[in-house]
């Protein structure tokens, strides 16, 4: 046992000395390999973290949202539906919601405007997200001038700015009073954007949804699980798009590494012959090549993964943020909660380290099985 371990250690040591001989070539290969792993791992970490973040946020979302459809499009829903839906058995609460989008011609950004509840949102006051505050250079107590539907100015005093920790949900948010909301958009009274429905038993949700759909044929109940699924799909889709962009670099790396790993130079052949002639067995030579492949690919994998972890969870993935977070003028600044998907990491390992190591060992097989006496005739 001790001898077997010593054999591995000795051959590994020679492998490292051997790799250092072609320093520039091997370091450039390592750098390329590292870059590919770094990009892929960053992407994996980022998409996983965003999906988890979205799931956490949606946990606080209402169990069900009821919209009204008109000609296949969402329309305002009569607030009077709320009382009737609340009467359905199993429904705990129904809250009409007022929300919409506001286009800010000053900086081309779209804000989300929500009518808040009375105690927190007094008329003439607003609570804004950190993104809005930054875009409009606002501080608490400043006035935020908005333009209503008829181009009349609406001045709102900033009461609170959401902390940047809530940026993911609140970066582009403006919470105003109901009265200001109606004034801004000429929103008709007795109507709501949608209804937020809370149901006591989550298993009853489909039944309640069916009852609502049957009672109000023009309504569309949307369950929280459906929203969650849509978010997962969106992040998967965005991740997929970025992956496609990365695939070209991945492919060129595969071709490069395949060429490097499989092409056995005359010098390498001669070296294998020398090793065989001085008593190395075929298995020793293959072990040497195995360690060579592992040394390069595992170093790249580990370094690339660690760098990707830092890039995503400490620096908030500056390389991918624009592509993956959204397409708004206001990008939320937020720190992702570290989450590592072991399955995806294992997949990345098997798709990068294993093929490279195999590509290093296989071509040596033939060279390593030559008769040792060939070395006598060089």
Partner 1 sequence: MIELSNITKSFNSGKPNQFTAVDNVTLAVKPGEITVFKGPSGSGKTSLLTVIGCMARPTSGRIFLRGVAAAVPFQHGGLEEVEITSLPERFLNEIRRSTFGFIFQQFNLVKGITVLENVMLPAYPTGEGRGEFRARALNLLEQFSIARLAGQRVDLLSGGELQRVAIARSLINNPSIIIADEPTAHLDSKLSRDFMAIVGRLKGEGKSVLIASHDPIVFDSPFVDTLVEMRDGAVVASRSCR
Identify the residue whose tokens are 């429905």: 197
- Asked if 117 interacts with partner 1 (CB under 8 A), we say no
> Contacts with partner 1 in 356-375 (CB under 8 A)?
371-373, 375
DSSP output for 209-258: HHHHHHH-TTEEEEEHHHHHHHHHHHHHHHHHHHHHHHHHHHHHHHHHHH
- The secondary structure element, H or E, covering residue 66 is strand 64-70
Binding residues for partner 1, rule CB under 8 A, total 33
* Closest alpha carbon to 34 in 46, 44, 26: 26
Choice between 7 and 229, CB closer to partner 1 = 7
Is the Cα torsion angle 357, 359, 363, 369 positive or negative in sign? Answer: positive
Closest distance between partner 1 and the C-beta of residue 283, in Å? 9
Choice between 259 and 373, CB closer to partner 1 = 373
Identify the residue whose tokens are 């008109």: 70
> Contacts with partner 1 in 232-291 (CB under 8 A)?
267, 271, 273-275, 277-281, 284, 287
Two structure tokens written together for 84: 């009737």
- Asked if 10 interacts with partner 1 (CB under 8 A), we say yes
Choice between 204 and 284, CB closer to partner 1 = 284
d(CA 361, CA 371): 18
- Asked if 11 interacts with partner 1 (CB under 8 A), we say yes
Q: Which class for 135: exposed (0-12), middle (13-18), buried (19 or more C-beta within 10 A)?
A: buried
Q: How far, CA to CA in Å, does 282 sit from each of 276, 293, 314, 359, 361?
A: 7, 17, 47, 17, 11
Closest distance between partner 1 and the C-beta of residue 364, in Å? 15
Choice between 25 and 200, CB closer to partner 1 = 25
> Contacts with partner 1 in 287-326 (CB under 8 A)?
287
Closest distance between partner 1 and the C-beta of residue 281, in Å? 5
- Asked if 14 interacts with partner 1 (CB under 8 A), we say yes
Q: Which stretch binds partner 1 (CB under 8 A): 15-23, 46-54, 175-183, 345-353?
A: 15-23
Closest distance between partner 1 and the C-beta of residue 376, in Å? 5
- Asked if 24 interacts with partner 1 (CB under 8 A), we say no
- Asked if 29 interacts with partner 1 (CB under 8 A), we say no
Two structure tokens written together for 151: 């181009």
Query: In sequence order, what are the beta bridge partners of 198?
Result: 93
Closest distance between partner 1 and the C-beta of residue 298, in Å? 21
Closest distance between partner 1 and the C-beta of residue 237, in Å? 50
Choice between 12 and 302, CB closer to partner 1 = 12
Choice between 239 and 273, CB closer to partner 1 = 273
- Asked if 342 interacts with partner 1 (CB under 8 A), we say no
Closest distance between partner 1 and the C-beta of residue 373, in Å? 4
d(CA 80, CA 216): 12
Closest distance between partner 1 and the C-beta of residue 370, in Å? 11
Choice between 274 and 303, CB closer to partner 1 = 274
Sequence-distant (≥ 6) Cβ neighbours of residue 49 within 8 angstroms: 312, 313, 336, 337, 338, 339
d(CA 280, CA 162): 69
Closest distance between partner 1 and the C-beta of residue 2, in Å? 8
Two structure tokens written together for 270: 């001669």
Sequence-distant (≥ 6) Cβ neighbours of residue 239 within 8 angstroms: 43, 46, 47, 324
- Asked if 229 interacts with partner 1 (CB under 8 A), we say no
Binding site residues, partner 1, CB under 8 A = 2-4, 6-7, 9-11, 13-14, 17-18, 21-22, 267, 271, 273-275, 277-281, 284, 287, 371-373, 375-378
């Amino acid at each position: 046992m001790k001898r077997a371990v010593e054999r591995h250690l000795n051959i590994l040591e020679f492998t490292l000395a051997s790799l250092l001989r072609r320093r520039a070539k091997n370091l450039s290969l390592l750098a390329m390999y590292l870059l590919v792993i770094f990009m892929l791992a960053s992407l994996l970490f980022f998409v996983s973290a965003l999906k988890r973040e979205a799931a956490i946020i949606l946990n606080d979302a209402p169990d069900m949202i009821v919209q009204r459809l008109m000609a296949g499009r969402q329309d305002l829903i009569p607030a009077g539906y709320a009382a009737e839906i609340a009467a359905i058995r199993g429904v705990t609460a129904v809250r009409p919601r007022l929300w919409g989008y506001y286009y800010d011609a000053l900086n081309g950004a779209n804000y989300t405007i929500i009518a808040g509840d009375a105690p927190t949102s007094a008329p003439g006051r607003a609570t804004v997200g950190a993104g809005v505050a930054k875009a409009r250079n606002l501080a608490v107590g400043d006035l935020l001038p908005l333009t209503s539907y008829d181009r009349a100015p609406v001045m709102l005093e900033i009461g609170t700015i959401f902390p940047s920790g809530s940026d993911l949900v609140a970066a582009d948010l403006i919470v105003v009073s109901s009265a200001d909301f109606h004034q801004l958009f000429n929103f008709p009274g007795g109507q709501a954007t949608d209804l937020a429905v809370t149901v006591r038993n989550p298993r009853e949700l489909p039944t309640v949804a069916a009852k609502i759909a049957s009672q109000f044929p023009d309504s569309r109940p949307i369950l929280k699980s459906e929203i969650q699924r849509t978010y997962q799909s969106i992040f998967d889709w965005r991740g997929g798009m970025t992956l496609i962009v990365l695939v070209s670099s991945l492919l060129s790396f595969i071709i490069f590494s395949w060429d490097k790993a499989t092409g056995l130079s005359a010098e390498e052949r001669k070296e294998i012959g020398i090793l065989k002639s001085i008593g190395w067995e075929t298995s020793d030579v293959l072990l040497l090549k195995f360690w060579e492949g592992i040394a390069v690919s595992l170093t790249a994998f580990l370094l690339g993964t660690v760098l990707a972890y830092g890039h995503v969870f400490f620096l908030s993935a500056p390389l991918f943020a624009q592509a993956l977070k959204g397409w708004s003028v206001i990008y939320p600044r937020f720190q992702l909660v570290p989450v590592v998907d072991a399955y995806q990491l294992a997949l990345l390992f098997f798709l990068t380290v294993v093929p490279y190591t195999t590509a290093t060992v296989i071509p040596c097989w033939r060279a390593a099985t030559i008769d040792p006496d060939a070395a006598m005739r060089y």
